[in-house]
Structures are given as structure tokens and as C-alpha cells.
Amino acid sequence: MELREFLAEVRKEAITEVIDDVRFIAKGCYEEAIRRKQYADKSGRLSASIGWAVCYDGKVVHSGGFTGNGRKASAGQSAGREAVQELARESKGIRLILVAGAPYATQVEARGFDVTTSGELLAEEMVQWWLNNA
């Protein structure tokens, strides 16, 4: 094996490991956002629009969340997935995305209800810890 091939393989393995670590962080942050939700979601659309993704160079490599039942929840899931795809297209390198795709999610947050803020704050803490200790 040539040095160039060896280095390419090491790089690929390192990227895969980082993506796996970021996926672990993303899942935890999504779970935190869902656990701490403070709003009444009668239709299920807002909760269903919340999800996470890990992207690499503009492509979603892992995603989750977007759960719920019913027609309105399905609309929320679609909105969340569309938001992830839009954000992913703009990304370079490895990116963690936590999103609430319902169009009124920011209005709910502006009224003081936690939709994704707790998950976002946890993401910042976990990524910082990971960078300092990995």
C-alpha cells in the first residue's frame, strides 16, 4: 500500500469516527429537546417536526426524530425533513443539525417555550466537551 492510499484510509476512518460521535451527540440533544418540551402540542405537528441530522459535505448521513401519528404530524415530519435537507445542502464538512421544521416553531420559542433551545444548549456543551476530551 502506498503512503497516499494509507493516508486516505486513515482520513476516511477518522471522518467515520467523528461522524459516529456527532451522531451520538445529535441523538442526545434531540432527546433532551423532546424531554424538556414546554408547549402544548394538540395536533402533534410541532413535535413531529423536530429532528436531528448529521451531514457531511452537503449530504445527510444520519438522521432521526420526526415522530408522530396522524395527518398533521405527517405534515410536521415533512416540514422537518425539508428543513434538514435545506440546511444540509449548505453545509461543508461535518455538521450537526437539530431542527424544528414547523413554520411557527420560532414563534413558540419567542413566547418563552422551549422547543429546541435545551437541545441546542446541550449540543454546544457536548461538542465542547468532546473537543476538549476526545
Q: Would you state the pLDDT for residue 90?
A: 87
List the strands of the sheet with 59-65, edge to edge.
59-65, 50-56, 94-100
- Beta strands at 59-65 and 50-56: parallel, antiparallel or unpaired: antiparallel
**SS3 labels along the chain:** CCHHHHHHHHHHHHHHHHHHHHHHHHHHHHHHHHHCCCCCCCCCHHHHCEEEEEEECCEEEEEEECCCCCHHHHHHHHHHHHHHHHHHHCCCCEEEEEEECCCCHHHHHHCCCCCCHHHHHHHHHHHHHHHHHC
Looking up cell 414547523, which residue turns up? 102
Q: Would you state the pLDDT for residue 72?
A: 78
Q: Would you state the pLDDT for residue 43?
A: 84
Q: Would you state the pLDDT for residue 42?
A: 81
Q: Would you state the pLDDT for residue 110?
A: 93
Note down pLDDT in tens along the chain; length 134 residues: 698 899 989 999 999 999 999 999 999 999 999 998 888 878 889 999 999 999 999 999 999 999 888 887 888 899 999 999 999 998 899 999 999 999 999 999 999 999 999 999 999 999 999 889 87
Can you give the pTM of this predicted structure?
0.88
Looking up cell 445527510, which residue turns up? 60
